[in-house]
Structure 1
């Protein structure tokens, strides 16, 4: 398993366009590091302006695109690429850039959760909605889903389009549960299993 550096914020405040481009290459003159692997950049993130998020989205066709997130098709080095995030934090839309090592396919979701945790003052001060958002973002894709089957026999007809995650994975009583229905104990257990704060 590949060891990834911890997620870390590299600029206080919101980066201007000029600062953003400087941060894209901030390690280029650092002696004694392996730039070809992209490792020095992996895990770094900073906040950007909305205009820069949309500029980068229009620059090249994205490698991948999901709600509130897209990855650049041009890699920085190795398997490290730029991922841009649009995240609503405390009822305000904000935009971020991070370098993710895609040898870990969950890296973008983990980074998004780490950004939310950092910007809200860590999981112990997060409101319930933010905790649920963090849990959704770090849960592997195969353990989460959105019921789309309207067949009343499934029991999920009334929950069409709502988010659900698999609880007790690996046990005989594993089952999908709606994200808002998680108990406080289940939320704490989920958050204790993931590292949301940088070292």
Structure 2
């Protein structure tokens, strides 16, 4: 899967448990820490609630802050760190977390604009990529993973999810090769029938 530069990875508002799970959605990746995995995280964002935003603000002194955002002091990998946003969208104050590359000074502002643009759409819709990212984010670690030695060499390291395959039982399938019907089956009911938004 080609990672979009700025991408929503969870639909809805993440509670504290889900927020902490998504801080490292790629914890099971093979060869963790052996390569620069910045591209996995750079540009990921999701919505959180005000209590989660306040908790993170009080956890450690921020690296820097502005009226509408602050940066975590600890870096995740390389120059990637978490940025927390307070944004007014449709007259409501909302809160978001995203991973920005601070080596690129404009990264937080671009992410802020992308979040506002995404959340101000008049019609609720999801792209195929957003559907896949939501499945990955909401699937328990025991039911997702990465293609290993039993997969052809060119597929090793690709993300997989456990899927019920009828008479064949449960099998791991490549996340980015799920059919529309399989994606629908893995999504919660309230997200299954949203229209598809084509990526810009």
TM-score range (shorter-chain normalised) is 0.5 to 0.7
When the two structures are aligned, how many residues end up with a matched partner? 122
Q: Give the distance between the partners of 2:36 and 2:72, measured in 1 at CA.
A: 17
Report what 1:57 is aligned to.
57
Q: 1:116 to 1:28 in 2, by over 3 A?
A: same
Uncovered stretches (5+) of structure 2, i.e. residues with no partner: 123-197
Q: Give the distance between the partners of 1:20 and 1:12, measured in 2 at CA.
A: 12
Q: 1:93 to 1:35 in 2, by over 3 A?
A: farther
Over residues 37-86 of structure 1, what are the superposed CA-to-partner deviations in whole Å (9 max), with x where a residue is unaligned?
43211100000000010110111110110011000010011000000000
Q: TM-score, normalized by length of structure 2?
A: 0.57
DSSP 3-state at the match of 1:105: coil
Instruction: Work out whether residues 114 and 198 of structure 1, in 8 Å CA contact, stay in contact via their aligned partners in 2.
Output: no
The structural deviation recorded for 1:121 is: 1.5
Over residues 90-117 of structure 1, what are the superposed CA-to-partner deviations in whole Å (9 max), with x where a residue is unaligned?
1000000000011111100100000000
Instruction: Work out whether residues 81 and 102 of structure 1, in 8 Å CA contact, stay in contact via their aligned partners in 2.
Output: yes
RMSD: 2.2
The structural deviation recorded for 1:5 is: 5.0
The structural deviation recorded for 1:30 is: 2.3
DSSP 3-state at the match of 1:81: strand
Q: Give the distance between the partners of 1:83 and 1:75, measured in 2 at CA.
A: 11
1:154-169 aligned at under 5 Å gives the runs none
Specify which structure has the bigger relative contact order, considering alpha-carbon pairs within 8 angstroms and separated by 6 or more residues: 2
Q: State the structure with more CA Rg.
A: 1
Q: 1:99 to 1:198 in 2, by over 3 A?
A: farther
DSSP 3-state at the match of 2:95: strand
